[in-house]
Amino acid sequence: MNYRAPLLLTVTVMPGVRKPMRTFPRKMVRTLLLLVFSAGTVAAQTLPKAMTGANLANGRALHQEKNCAACHVQQFGGDGTRIYTRADRKVKSAEKLIAQVAACNTRLRAELFPEDERDIAAYLNQDYYKFK
């Protein structure tokens, strides 16, 4: 007898509890999807003007392929990314970032097209510089 009372209570309370529980996650999922979607749109819009239409994946691949980091590692140590993140880095704008990639490209004699330089700059901007 002593054990039945709480059991009965749970059974009668549960249906009332379940209903809102079942509809809540669906709303949550919709809100989350909306958030993710709008975040993606905002990210695409905040690509700096000078980098409009840049192919970030191509930029990342070229940065790897042309071994840009090798030279930076020699000069600044680490994995070569510190040159992009150090407090006294040289590049202060999206335009200057493209210009610097072009300058290093010339030094490297990597023979990148201007579109490639822009793609690399956009990739570096996304991961390190974050200019708007």
Give the phi and the psi of residue 4 in degrees, each rounded to 5.
-80, -30
Side chain identity at 123, as an amino acid letter?
A: Y
Applying CB under 6 A, among 48, 50, 72, 122 the residue interacting with ligand HEC is: 72
Verify binding: residue 124, ligand HEC, rule CB under 6 A. Answer: yes
Verify binding: residue 101, ligand HEC, rule CB under 6 A. Answer: yes
Displacement of CA 101 from its chain's centroid (Å): 20
Distance in angstroms (rounded) separating the CA atoms of residues 46 and 32:
21
Q: Which of 108, 86, 113, 109 is nearest to 98 (CA)?
A: 113
Kindly list the distances between the CA atom of residue 54 and the CA atoms of 12, 34, 126, in Å, as whole numbers in the listed order: 60, 25, 11
Verify binding: residue 54, ligand HEC, rule CB under 6 A. Answer: no
Verify binding: residue 63, ligand HEC, rule CB under 6 A. Answer: yes
Closest separation between CB of residue 103 and ligand HEC, Å? Answer: 7
Stretch that binds ligand HEC, among 13-21, 35-43, 50-58, 85-93 (CB under 6 A): 85-93
Verify binding: residue 91, ligand HEC, rule CB under 6 A. Answer: yes
Q: What is the largest CA-CA distance in the chain?
A: 88
Interface positions, 8-47, toward ligand HEC (CB under 6 A): none
CB 40 within 8 A of CB 50: no
Verify binding: residue 100, ligand HEC, rule CB under 6 A. Answer: yes
Closest separation between CB of residue 58 and ligand HEC, Å? Answer: 13
Q: Which is nearer to ligand HEC, 12 or 75 (CB)?
A: 75
